[in-house]
Amino acid sequence: MDGEVTQIPRSRADGTVTRLADIAVQAGVSEATVSRVLNGKPGVSAATRRAVLTALDLMGYERPQRLRQRSNGLIGLVTPELDNPIFPAFAQAIEKALTQHGYTPVLCTQLPGGAPEDEFTELLMERGVSGIVFVSGLHADTTARMDRYTRLIDRGLPIVLLDGYSDQIDAPFISPDDRLAARLAVQHLVDLGHERIGLALGPARFVPVVRKIEGYRRAMSQLLGVTEVDELISHSLFSVEGGQAAAVKLLERGCTGIVCASDLMALGAIRACRDRDLAVPGEVSVVGFDDSPLIAFTDPPLTTVRKPIGAMASAAVETLLEEINGMPGKNMELMFQPELVVRRSTGSGPLVSR
Q: How far apart are CA 281 and CA 288, in angstroms?
A: 13
| Residue 226: predicted pLDDT | 96
pLDDT per residue as tens digits for the range 107-116? 999 877 767 8
Structural domain tally of the chain?
3
> What is the mean predicted confidence (pLDDT) over 121-127?
92
Instruction: Judge whether 146 and 119 are in contact, CB under 8 Å.
Output: no
Task: Determine the structural domain holding residue 12 and report its residue range.
Answer: 1-69
| Residue 1: predicted pLDDT | 41
pLDDT per residue as tens digits for the range 17-58? 567 888 888 889 998 898 888 887 888 887 888 788 888 877
Same domain, 255 and 303: yes
Same domain, 318 and 300: no
Peptide bond into 300 cis (omega under 30): yes
| Residue 190: predicted pLDDT | 98
Provide, rounded to the nearest whole percent, the portion of the chain with pLDDT above 90: 70
Same domain, 116 and 183: no
pLDDT per residue as tens digits for the range 230-250? 999 999 999 999 999 999 999
Same domain, 113 and 58: no
Task: Please name the residues in contact with 301: beta carbons below 8 A apart, sequence gap of 6 or more.
Answer: 295, 343, 344, 345
Q: Where residue 301 sits, what CATH number does that domain have?
A: 3.40.50.2300
Q: For residue 95, how far is the Cα from the chain centroid?
A: 12
Provide, rounded to the nearest whole percent, the portion of the chain with pLDDT above 70: 91
Give the residue from 213, 216, 82 showing the smallest Cα distance to 136: 82
| Residue 10: predicted pLDDT | 43
> What is the mean predicted confidence (pLDDT) over 186-190?
98
* pLDDT bucket at 9, cuts 50 / 70 / 90: very low
